[in-house]
A and B are shown apart, each in its own frame.
Chain A
């Protein structure tokens, strides 16, 4: 009986969460549409602040991780390609890998960890402190007031961070190939030949989509924070885990679509 009760309670709680998440999604889209209809009511200052925190605050870590990623990928692939005297093709591998896939993905994971969790913690704390109720009683919808500016900020910040991460990765690859006596101009020639403008833009678009997802999941976790001692911590954890899972799923769907449409 105890087991049944526990399973039932857990199922009921899970259903409540799904219900809350669906409600939040609906509210977020309605608020976004309302913002598009009345752009003068968009909170540009809040959006700029969130953008600064996400983009400027996340720049150094994106550069660092990008550089390390480039170094590691170059070392790992060069070891294999060197056997065939084809180490120069590490440049092609890095360009395609970073611009098309790893740049947006790694940057999105960084953004989810930094900004997604921060959004969840900020909004969660506001909920626990009754600030969301205060907004509602003033006739201000928390989703339009707090969530929309953060989603716009993260969606705009991601392409910026992505391009810096990708360039840092390419610099890392250049350093490794320089050690393997591949001239740097040759390396860059291979990079520019492999990375088509469409590929770069597609990667940045993916980055923007992943930023949107990370912010949506982060803000949703914050809005659904429970007023318990560990509520904000749980919301922040959920934001990171949920964002990464959602981003991975979106990436998988995009990969399939690219294959089907031969992009």
Chain B
């Protein structure tokens, strides 16, 4: 396994007064595609919100690129991560090109031409150079997510977080998005943390997965998709992967 870039040690995830998951412990290596997995409402997006610094953890230690989220480290950490939200979260009053240029305008030292060239290059990488001048409401859901990925990659982050990239997309578009993630990892070596519950995507792109269960308020499995699907003794994990109940299967409380 490569160098560790994200580490969670005994993290309690949730919101003040509402703990969703307890004692979550895992790490993500550089260049890895790591999946946060589980049923809807199990807390996987909440864990991601802790990882991207939107919500403070309720307990335990969480570090990204060797730093913990805090007032002093926030600016530096924000340059090291890129995030694609479930809806894309593109700014409706800006064109696709302007959306991708926004982080460059604020934080890069490139001049105006350099910023535009870099943003166009990123849009070309996600196959949307033709849509540069369009507003978000003029493109499809899948295209919005591609633009959002391009924006997330703008400052060459070390880790990109993707929240439900396949949600609301047809299987072909969803598969194309998976290909894009694999291409970007291969070409740039970027680490991806992906929140999803789409099995085809998981088997296609994941190096490792962490699986959560709301009822037990815990991370219940950690490993490659094949390990989870074929070797897990946990009833919940086996049912999630459509494997039925194995002999001697258990559900730890």
* B-binding residues in A (CB < 8 A): 41, 49, 126, 129-131, 133-134, 136-140
Contact = CB atoms under 8 A, between A and B. Distances in A.
Contacts of B53: 136-137
Nearest to B49: A133
Contacts of A126: 91
B87 A130 contact: yes
Nearest to B52: A137
A126 B91 CA distance: 8
Interface in B50-91: 52-54, 74-75, 78-79, 81-83, 85-87, 89-91
Nearest to A141: B74
Given A139-B75, A139-B78, A139-B79, A134 B85 contact: yes
Listed from nearest, the 5 A-B pairs whose CB atoms lie closest are A139-B78, A134-B89, A130-B85, A130-B89, A137-B83
A137 B87 contact: no
Contacts of A139: 74-75, 78-79, 106-107
A131 B93 CA distance: 12
Nearest to A49: B93
A139 B83 CA distance: 11
Interface in B136-193: none
A130 B86 contact: yes
A129 B52 contact: no
B106 A131 contact: no
Given A133-B83, A133-B85, A139-B74, 19 more contacts: A49-B93, A129-B89, A130-B85, A130-B89, A131-B90, A131-B92, A133-B54, A133-B89, A134-B85, A134-B89, A137-B52, A137-B54, A137-B82, A138-B106, A139-B75, A139-B78, A139-B79, A139-B107, A140-B106
23 contacts: A41-B106, A126-B91, A129-B89, A130-B85, A130-B87, A130-B89, A131-B89, A131-B90, A133-B54, A133-B83, A134-B83, A134-B85, A136-B53, A137-B52, A137-B54, A137-B81, A137-B82, A138-B103, A139-B74, A139-B75, A139-B78, A139-B79, A139-B106
B132 interface: no
A131 B52 CA distance: 14
Given A137-B83, A139-B74, A131 B91 contact: yes
Contacts of B128: none
A134 B92 CA distance: 13
A44 to B, nearest CB: 13
Contacts of A140: 106
A88 to B, nearest CB: 51
Contacts of A134: 83, 85, 89
A64 to B, nearest CB: 28
B102 interface: yes
A136 B102 CA distance: 13
Contacts of B87: 129-130
Contacts of A130: 85-87, 89
A129 B86 CA distance: 9
Contacts of A41: 106
B111 to A, nearest CB: 15
B29 to A, nearest CB: 22
A49 B103 CA distance: 20
